[in-house]
């Protein structure tokens, strides 16, 4: 399945968190758990203007198992989340706890 556009991810950041997102760069992330590959793909790093707490956001999408749908992730650069890899890791942990 094709990756989603930077514009679609920008809209996800703005709709989920507010402010104005401006693409800064795209990082390629490979998240491992032990020897297992948990997730791999591009994470778009946006500068975020007009948000009360964060100046950066990380966004990506992933296929929903068994369907043609995609889930969008938009994680703010806050607390312990200071990189695209940490954003992906936090989303995986949160899904595992709630999943």
Domain boundaries, the chain: 6-98
At residue 83, the 3 state secondary structure works out as: coil
- Kindly tell me if the per-residue pLDDT of 11 is higher than 90: yes
**Of the ranges 11-20, 22-31, 61-70, which one carries the lowest mean pLDDT score?**
61-70
What's the predicted TM-score (pTM) here? 0.92
Contact between 28 and 44 under an 8 Å Cβ cutoff? The reply is no
- Kindly tell me if the per-residue pLDDT of 83 is higher than 90: yes
| Phi and psi, residue 87, nearest 5° | -65, -45
Contact between 13 and 72 under an 8 Å Cβ cutoff? The reply is no
2 Cβ contact partners less than 8 Å away, ≥ 6 residues apart: none
- Kindly tell me if the per-residue pLDDT of 1 is higher than 50: no
DSSP annotation string for 41-60: EEEEEEEEES-SS-SEEEEE
């Amino acid at each position: 399945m094709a990756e989603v556009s930077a514009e679609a991810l920008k809209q996800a950041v703005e709709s989920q968190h507010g402010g104005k997102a401006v693409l800064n760069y795209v990082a390629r992330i490979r998240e491992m758990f032990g020897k297992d590959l948990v997730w791999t793909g591009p994470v778009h790093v946006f500068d975020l203007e007009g948000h009360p707490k964060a100046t950066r956001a990380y966004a990506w999408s992933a296929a929903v198992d068994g369907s043609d749908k995609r889930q969008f992730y938009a994680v703010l650069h806050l607390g312990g989340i200071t990189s695209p890899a940490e954003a992906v890791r936090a989303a995986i942990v949160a899904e595992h706890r709630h999943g």
